[in-house]
Structure 1
Amino acid sequence: MSHKYYDELFKQTHHYLVATLTSEPTQADRREHRNLLATLYIRYIVSANQLATCVDQMVQPQKRILLRKLLEATLGRILELKADLVEADLNDWTHCGDILEKLNLTPYDAELQVPTCFRLEREDDIAYKKRIIEEVLDKLGFTEKVEEKVPMSEQQAILIIQTHERARQGRLRAQFMKEIRSMKEKSKPTATGEGEEGEEEAGHGINLAAALKIQKIWRGYIARRATKRRKLQEMLLIGMIPPPKKKNEELLKDLQIQENRRELQKKRQKEYEADVKSIRKQLEKTQRGPILEQLSDQVRGWLHEYKAQTGKIPEYTGSERSASRLLLSQQGTESETSKSTPASSKDSKSKKDKTSKSPKEGTPNETEDEDGKLKAIVSTFAPELNIRKEEYEEIWRNKNESANPRQYHYKDIIEHEQMTNMENDLRKIVDEMMKAELLLLQEAFDKDRGHKGKKKSSKKARKTGKKGKKKKEKDLTPDRTTESLFEELVANGIIKRYPEVWLRHFKGERSFNPPAAYNKGKEPRIDLGDIRQVLTECCIIPMLTDHLHQTTPHVKSVLLAGPKGSGKDMLVHAVCNELGAVLFDITPSNIVGKYPGKSGLIMLIHLVVKVSRLLQPSIIFMDNAERPFVKKIPKTDKTDPKRLKKDLPKIVKNFSTEDRVILIGTTNCPWDSDQKLLQQVYQKFFIIPRPNYSSRFHIWTHLLGQYMAVSWKFDTSLMTKISDGYTVGSIESTVKEVITVKRMLQLRIHPLSPLELVNALCKRTPVYKEEDEALEAWWTKVPMVRRRLRAIEMREDEEAEMMAKQANAKKK
């Protein structure tokens, strides 16, 4: 793809985004305006996917900065709308089948893709952490050492080739001599000479008949083969059969071009950063003094003018915005002498008392709380999107880039930005200077009027400060470096390396169901592919940047429930790879015998929490998450699963919005635990459904499609029907067991038969009906599902009351 293609894609995405922004409501009700919120949600997802492609492939560094800001704001708005839709439907799985149909989109078009740009920015940091893990494991001898073979010399290579060639020639010579010997034996004359001529004629007739038979069979075989080939070519031409499997050279070339564009991005970015530094230095040398003098004269002139008009000294307000800007915009502020009189202070106290007492007088009703929940989140990202839209229209919309085919940066834009930044920095210096001058002027003014300056007591401030302060956690390892703590956790197996799998490798079809009302009927059925979207929105996107994590709804912990082999561990590893996160494994079986005793447990929790915050984003993982909360532990279990029972809720509770850390638990029997304790630890609950027909067909097609020799005639539909009730892990292990290296070599001669796969699949354990029923019964106890069931019961009660009233009215 060319630079022009991505420029056009950027323009189209911007127009689409502007059209979406115009339909943003000022204030929306989550349930009344549910269709509008869902439409915005889908449109923002489409925009985010296109923006992610542009950021990944755009070369011009200044455009990429704007695109990245746009992408971050769009992702934040998606998460806000997701939270609104969850509350509107009382369902963590957002179904928008009706909206997709209206917008002519497929479920895959509306699937949020994880942007790669955020991970690539941290590529060096991620590689450094992986290298440290590998080095520590090498020191401890946990990795398999591959012996490096010494390269042989040219003389040794020639000697090996000569030896093998002589052996080959010897085998050929032996075979040739064997054939000559057999021919001599056949040509020896027989001992008796009677009837030799008759036998020769009979033998000649037999040989002729045999030759004719062979010719007939051979010619028939050649004709049938040619006919079959012509038929296949015709079927291929009209599209009745799939084309033969082969490596797509165009696709490989496109991937190589994308990688080349990323390398060019890095080069242009370095050039841009170097020019920013040089231009800033030049501006500091030439423009700093005049601008500082101009700003200070401007503020002093305004101060003198204000003093002459009012006779008062103005306040110098605001640390958040530049005070010099505020002064020039606020005409007519009060001076410090007229700040407060005793009467006014009494009035203000009485007003405060009234306002503080007002909530006690009228206790809020449940309906008011519900109304508050029904109001959509006031977006913090929509204004930011509008700012970026204006920036694009001001700078890039009508910019002629025909003179910049190599996509270099523009120095005039850098000069303007650096001039603005330098002016803002100098305004802060001017503010400090003006505050000092105003303080001296105020003191002189007070002396002239005969006022004595009262010292303000700081007792109240101290008290309020103590109340507002959070209890600081004691650091048990203040003298140790982050690297030493990291190495210790790696050595003890708490920090683990994980396989390189991505969320796109988790195959499964997406659902296309319309939404169900929050208080009517059953929840729409979910499909296997829906888990990708949910994990992307809850675990990956909020943790990509600090800004997103602090301003979007905060998810601290997630529990994944599903049968064995459903892909829970793979999903956790995929989340880690997408984020480039560090994985902390606190599974009971993994920490048994490590950090023993009460003091050891305190140290373990301290190290995990401290290092996870220092090396964020981090994933704290617990397999068999129900084990710490099981009522009765079997006597054979010596892993002490209840060791973390009391500490897990505290760990999760202490995660703040500044900590990009999340706890992910997995379980295959959540019904065994105490549900109240489990719900104190985990905030979100997701169930991995059994794959339906479409998902299983997709999985079989993908797994068998990796082997080019598997015939297109293979009955995938038959295997899809037979594998009903089996998990994805069972299907994948079956394919790996059957299609070995030896079997792959035989595929062209002996095509793969469904019977081979069925025999291997029968050895696996399916998911039985009892396990499905137990999982469904547990799902009804999840907080979100309970809220939905309560809403359905309330509606049914209201309908029963209405029916009773109508019946009574008819009787009268």
Structure 2
Amino acid sequence: MSHETYDKLCRETHDILDEASQFDTFLAGEKPQKDKKLAQSQVVELYYKYIIAMNNLDQCYDQIVHPQKRLVIKKLLDATIGRILELKHELVNLDLSEFSYNDDILCKLKLSPKEVEVNVPAYYKREREAEIVKRRKTITDILKKLGYYEEEVIEKEFTLEQAVTIIQIHERARQGRLRAQFMREIKLMKEKSKVEPSEGKQVDGAFAARLIQKVWRGYNTRRKMRRRKIEEMLLIGMLQPTYTVTDARQKAEEVVKVRHQVQKEYQEKFEQALIIEKERILRNRGGAMKEEIADEVRNWFIQYEQATGKFPEIPSEESGGSALIFSRTGAESTISKSTTLSSGRSKKSKKDKEEEGKPKKSEEEDELGFKMQPSNFLMDMLHSAEEYQDVWKYRDETDNPFQEADMDMIKAEKSIEVEAELRRIVDQLLRKELEVLQAALDRDRARKGKKVRKSAKKKGRGGKKSKKKKEKDLTPDRTLESLFEELVTNGIIKKYSEVPLSAFRGEYSYAAHDLRQLGKDPLPCLGDLRQVILEYCVLPLGSNTIHQMAPLVKSLLITGSHGSGKDMLVHAICTEIGAVLFDLSPANIVGKYPGKSGLIMLVHLVNKVSRLLQPAIIYMDGAEKPFMKKVPKTDKTDPKRLKKDLPKIVKGIGPEDQIMLIGVSHCPWDCDQKSLAQTYNKFIMIPRPDYGSLSLIWKEQLFQFSSVNRQFDTAAMAKISDGYTVGNILKVIKEVMTCKRVLQLQVHPLTHVELINVLCKYDPIYKEEEEAFIQWFSKTPIGKRKARALEIEAELKAENASQNKTKKMN
């Protein structure tokens, strides 16, 4: 795709954002909405529009090469992601569920579920790629030193002639085997086609020709029908297409890599140009700019002194310094404001005092209904969108076909920056000059016998001190590298397997919306679960800017049966954001950092290193064990060791900390639910896979082998494997599709019996286990809220029914 294509996509996305933000601003100013369904549809419509805009902006930011344009797009992208997270939490409060199903809104917007699937922003990992690779290499080197990895055997390098000779030998052997197989098949065909010579019967040429035509026409027709059937089934999605690397696909991937390389080059040139231009402005215009600023401020001194009889004070550096005086109002308005300040403090009337004393009661508090919470991202989005529209949307770039940095913009930006820096220096000098002038004025007044008015002492800004105590550093003399090596050596920092979140395969729930309309509460599908994990973990933790202002989720508990993919989700989260994984599972810390002092040191090291190496995931396998009422005698891991420290770790996580505690459990009901709810903010339950997800997984896993017939009935396997976890299915495929079996597929096609025989070795999710998970989830905070809301709704319906009955009787 060309520069013009991405610019066009960016303009279209800006139009989507403009429409959505206007509607968003309108909703923020509206009164509370009493109609819950209407409020939900409004929030969902905004939510979907922002998702489409976010995916487009991510693509633009990943591929546009203009460095200055990319800065604006990134601001827009971050603000959009933050707004999506805010709307997600609004939907949870409306639905009283972590999952939302809104097929009616999708139909209204003419969108498919795939189009509103949130993508992981590409820049999360790409901009930290060198750091992530270096960190993983450090962990690998430490583990190699400890002997966890065998030394790699350094293979002897071959010359070109030796390599060609080896390839020729293997190729000749391969051709020989194929030729032998081919000749064997010809021999068998000849033997089968031998016809006993009939005595005294002669076959004429016409009969032989008709016989050959009959066989050929039958074969040709069957081949055409088979091809037509396959094409039709591929068209309607009944067969999985074979992945082939075409020239167009390969070229597109190469173009993406080239654009990334150009981005890097342009960014380096842009940063270098910023430094050079700043130095040039300071060298050529620095002195003149200082004099202009000083003269401007001194003139203001004189005007102020003539109007008020005293010299003014320059605003503090934090509030903007002397620039604050000349922005918007100018020196004259500042003088008039200072002269009228004391006179404007008139006494309040008795009526005003009485009204002020009364507690204010807003109309919004009187009215019941849904009111959207104020957004931390909407204003940033509006400002960024306005900046894009003013500068880039209609900009003619015919003179810049290669999309390099604009030097005029760099000069203007650096001029403003240099002026601000010089103004701070000049302000410091003039503050001292003001003190001298004020002292001289006071001495002059004292000689004339005038009473010198003592300036009131400035009181420091009051306010409550932060209650958050700073943790005492138990390792002040240790470097980060030594602490990191210690935690890796003790197995607290783990090297996780890199797996993308998209590898957690599963379909979305396409029937849940209709079921909810009927008053039922369906279980989510694996695709819905993947989306929620992305919104609660990946999107906020991937960016420090977003995490500081987005709704804070400090901890998450993932529950599900064995083989449901809990650990895979944790590894996927770490992979997508390039996080450091701290394993505090009871089985992992047994025998490490013994005693009370050792436990204090362990918690301190995890807190300290996780903040220095953000983003970080603190992992807890067997999350129910620290809060168990009674520990089994067979458990020798001391699971209650972190019972008091886990809530403290979670409590200490703030908006500025890109840290999250993620626990996994296959039996969360075996512990004190109150303690569990105090530690974990969110609860996610992985249900058993539905038919759509099972069918998708069987297709993808089996059809990755090119020799498997594309007409293999995966729908039958999806029905047979109902109740089995994805982990079990992957084990079955791995056990059946060995290297030897894959080579035999050409001669002996795969059968269902082979898969079923292996599948029978594993246990499915029984009904009792599934009901135990559902019952436990109903006792979580979100489950209790939903049950209470249903009770209130039932009571209101009963009350309305009784009132209607009374009216009819009267």
What is residue 4 of structure 1 aligned with on the other side?
4
Partner Cα separation in structure 1 for residue 308 and residue 212 of structure 2 = 116
Displacement of 1:431 in angstroms is: 3.4
Determine the structure 2 residue equivalent to 1:383.
Answer: 379
2:240–2:699: 8 Å Cα contact kept in structure 1? no
CA gap 1:720/1:469 in 2 versus in 1, 3 angstroms: closer
- Aligned-partner Cα distance in 1 for 2:367–2:575: 39
Shift of 1:711: 0.6
Q: Is the 8 Å Cα contact of residues 725 and 768 (structure 1) preserved in structure 2?
A: yes
Matched, 1:417 2:387: no
1:347 deviates by: 9.9
Match of 1:586 among 578, 584, 587: 584
In the TM superposition, what is the alpha-carbon distance from 1:301 to its structure 2 partner?
1.8
SS in 1 for 2:620: strand
Partner of 1:197: none
1:218-229 maps to which residues of 2 (within 5 A)?
225-229=219-223
TM-fit CA distance, 1:403 = 2.7
Q: CA deviation at 1:805?
A: 4.9
Residue 683 (structure 2) pairs with residue 685 (structure 1)? yes
Question: Would the aligned equivalents of 1:557 and 1:682 in 2 still touch at CA under 8 Å?
Answer: yes
Offset at residue 60 of structure 1 (A): 1.5
Give the alignment of 1:469-618 within 5 angstroms.
470-512=468-510, 521-618=519-616
The letter of the residue matching 2:698 is W
In the alignment, structure 1 residue 132 sits paired with structure 2 residue 128: no
CA distance in 1, matches of 2:228, 2:524: 42
Q: Give the structure 1 partner of residue 187 of structure 2.
A: none
Other-structure match for 1:296: 294
Distance 1:170 1:736 in 2: 31
- The whole-number CA distance in structure 1 between the counterparts of 2:483 and 2:548 is 27
* Alpha-carbon shift at residue 433 of structure 1 (Å): 3.5
SS at match of 1:529: helix
- Shift, 1:104, TM fit: 0.5
- For the pair 1:27 / 2:29, whether they are aligned, the reply is yes
Q: Name the structure 2 match of 1:400.
A: 396
Larger deviation, residues 122-131 vs 394-403: 394-403
Against the structure 1 CA distance between its residues 440 and 788, is the aligned structure 2 distance closer, same or farther, given a 3 Å change threshold?
A: farther
CA distance in 2, matches of 1:701, 1:435: 75
Could you tell me the percent identity over the aligned residues? 45
* Compared CA separation, residues 220 and 520, structure 1 to 2 (3 A): closer
Residues 555 and 333 of structure 1, relative CA distance in 2, 3 Å threshold: farther
User: What is the CA distance between 1:499 and its match in structure 2?
Assistant: 1.1
Question: Does the 8 Å CA contact 1:44/1:74 hold for their aligned counterparts?
Answer: yes
In structure 2, how many angstroms separate the alpha carbons of the residues matched to 1:166 and 1:64?
55
Q: Given that residues 98 and 514 in structure 1 are in contact (C-alpha distance below 8 angstroms), is that contact kept between their aligned partners in structure 2? A: no
Give the Å deviation of 1:92. 2.0
Contact 1:508 1:527 in 2 (8 A): yes
Shift of 1:233: 4.0
In the alignment, what sits opposite 1:451?
A: 452
| Matched-pair contact (CA < 8 Å) for 2:325–2:334 | no
TM-score of the superposed pair, with normalisation by structure 1: 0.86
- Deviation per CA, 1:67-92: give whole Å up to 9, x if none: 11111111111112222222222222
Deviations 1:374-413 (A, max 9, x none): 4322223222222222222222223222232222211111
Measure, in 2, the Cα distance between the counterparts of 1:95 and 1:169.
57
- Superposition deviation, residue 653 in structure 1: 0.3
Partner SS, residue 617 of structure 2:
strand
> 2:750 corresponds to which residue?
752
Q: Quick one: distance in 1 between partners of 2:757 and 2:789?
A: 48
TM-fit CA distance, 1:512: 4.3
Match of 1:231, as an amino acid? M
Work out whether residues 574 and 581 of structure 2, in 8 Å CA contact, stay in contact via their aligned partners in 1.
Answer: yes
* Separation (CA, whole Å) in 2 of partners of 1:555 and 1:10: 31
Map of 1:15-414 to 2, 5 A cutoff?
Answer: 15-24=15-24, 25=26, 26-28=28-30, 29=32, 32=35, 33-152=39-158, 225-235=219-229, 245=242, 247-249=244-246, 250-317=248-315, 319-328=317-326, 329=329, 331-332=333-334, 368=365, 374-414=370-410
Distance 1:48 1:624 in 2: 36
CA contact (8 A) 1:576 1:582 kept: yes
CA RMSD in angstroms, aligned pairs only: 4.0
How many equivalent pairs are there?
769
CA distance in 2, matches of 1:783, 1:47: 33
Measure the CA separation in 2 of the matches of 1:441 and 1:793.
Answer: 75
User: Distance in 1 between the 2:601 and 2:558 partners?
Assistant: 28
Could you tell me which residue of structure 1 aligns to residue 181 of structure 2? none
Offset, 1:353? 14
Contact 1:314 1:333 in 2 (8 A): no
Cα offsets for 1:710-764 (capped at 9, x unmatched): 1111011101111111111111111111111111111121111111111111111
Q: Secondary structure at the match of 1:559?
A: strand
Q: How far apart are 1:117 and its partner, in Å? A: 1.2
Instruction: Label 1:258 to 1:162 Cα distance change in 2 as closer, same or farther (>3 A).
Output: closer
1:141-176 superposed Cα distances (whole Å, 9 cap, x missing partner): 1013331222356898899899999999999xxxxx
The 8 Å contact of residues 509 and 694 in structure 1, kept in 2 or not, is answered as yes
1:798 aligns with 2:796: yes
**Letter in structure 1 aligned against 2:71:** I
Structure 2 residue aligned with 1:429:
425
Distance in 2, Cα, partners of 1:547 & 1:239: 47
Per mean C-alpha deviation after superposition, the further-off stretch among 723-732 and 793-802 is: 793-802
**Residues 61 and 272 in structure 1, CA contact (< 8 A), matched pair in contact too:** yes
Query: Aligned pair in 2 of structure 1 residues 510, 446: CA closer, same or farther (>3 Å)?
Result: farther
Q: Residue 581 of structure 2 aligns to a residue in which SS? A: strand
In structure 2, the CA distance between the partners of 1:23 and 1:598, relative to structure 1 (3 Å rule), is same
Task: Check whether the contact 2:304–2:335 (CA below 8 A) recurs between aligned residues.
Answer: no
Partner Cα separation in structure 1 for residue 518 and residue 309 of structure 2: 69
Residue 707 of structure 1, aligned match among 701, 705, 724: 705
**Cα distance between partner residues in 2 of 1:457 and 1:161:** 86
Question: Could you say which structure has the larger radius of gyration?
Answer: 1
Aligned equivalents of 2:168, 2:44: Cα separation in 1: 74
With 785-794 and 52-61 compared, the bigger mean Cα shift is at 785-794
Measure, in 1, the Cα distance between the counterparts of 2:385 and 2:371. 26
Give the letter aligned to residue 390 of structure 1.
Answer: E
Q: What letter matches 2:44 in structure 1?
A: A
Letter in 1 for 2:137: R
Q: How far apart, in 2, do the equivalents of 1:503 and 1:762 lie?
A: 29
**Larger mean Cα displacement after TM superposition, 53-62 or 81-90:** 81-90
Q: How far apart, CA to CA, are the structure 1 residues paired with 2:342 and 2:391?
A: 48
Aligned 8 A contact 2:732 2:758 in 1? yes
Distance 1:643 1:335, change over 3 A: same
Aligned pair in 2 of structure 1 residues 252, 478: CA closer, same or farther (>3 Å)?
same
Deviation at 1:325, TM superposition (A): 3.2
Q: Are the aligned partners of 1:272 and 1:409 in contact in 2 as well (CA < 8 Å)?
A: yes
What residue in structure 2 maps to residue 669 of structure 1? 667
Q: Counterparts of 2:719 and 2:117 in 1: how far apart (Å)?
A: 27
Cα deviation, 1:413-442, whole Å, max 9, x if unaligned, reads: 111111122222233333333433444444
Residues 307 and 155 of structure 1, relative CA distance in 2, 3 Å threshold: closer
Residue 23 of structure 1 aligns to a residue whose secondary structure is helix
Tell me how far apart the structure 2 counterparts of residues 370 and 774 of structure 1 sit (CA, whole Å).
40
Could you say which residue in structure 2 is the equivalent of 1:189? none
**Change over 3 Å in CA distance of 1:439–1:352 after alignment to 2:** farther
Structure 1: gaps spanning 5 or more residues: 172-202
CA distance in 2, matches of 1:519, 1:31: 19
Distance in 2 of aligned mates of 1:143 and 1:311: 81
- Cα separation, 2, equivalents of 1:520 and 1:168: 63
Three-state SS of the structure 1 residue aligned to 2:664 is strand
